Amino acid sequence: TANLEYQGQSGALNESFADIFGVMIDRDDWQLGEGITNPNFIPTGFLRDMSNPNNGGTSLQSPGWQPANMNEIYTGSQDNGGVHINSGIVNFAYYKYAIATSKDIAEQVYDRALSTYLTRSSQFIDARIAVIQSAKDLYGNNSPEVAAAQNAFAAVGIGSPASSGNNDPTPTTETPEVPENPGQDFIVSN
């Protein structure tokens, strides 16, 4: 619904929301791909673990590893700028939010964030803002659901916790940065 661009953080949001909807359907646990993943390739036996994005590994070289916090974010160019790799950060924020509230509440809030507030070029900070605003819309400005959203994102390195008083960072703009064109300058006149 947000038409997230499949590159960098917006692409990682796309992947994360796919995982979030996956655990909304398979409500028994926080793992994804446990029926299709070869344990000889990923020792845990599941593709992703929203409760532990590191998935038994210690770094990007470990099969199935994803960062769990912004201090581990992948910034390279492989995987369209880390769309599959970095989705673990937002997955972990969702897990923390659902544990603090409930799966039912988390589903409603994240669905609203995706369908109402996120846009094509949204970044992780925009997801935080969208989830917090969605929690406000559904449960009220000073509700425990809002504080839980602030704390869940802060726990993965995106923004501050509820107790800090600094919980509404500035969203990113719709205009992406465009690198300088190394070509020749031309003047067009009539």
- Does the pLDDT of residue 175 top 60, yes or no? no
Task: With cut-offs at 50, 70 and 90, classify the pLDDT of residue 163.
Answer: confident
49-95 pLDDT tens trace:
999 999 999 999 999 999 999 999 999 999 999 999 999 999 999 99
pTM, to two decimals: 0.87
Mean pLDDT (the chain) is: 91
- pLDDT at position 178: 46
In angstroms, the Cα distances linking 11 to 50, 83, 85, 186, 190 are: 17, 5, 10, 35, 42
Residues in Cβ contact with 102 at an 8 Å cutoff, skipping those fewer than 6 apart: none
- pLDDT at position 155: 98
How far apart (Å, rounded) are the C-alpha atoms in residues 129 and 71? 20
Mean pLDDT calculated for residue range 26-31: 94
Q: Give φ, ψ of 19 to 5 degrees.
A: -65, -40
89-133 pLDDT tens trace:
999 999 999 999 999 999 999 999 999 999 999 999 999 999 999
The DSSP symbol for 49 reads E
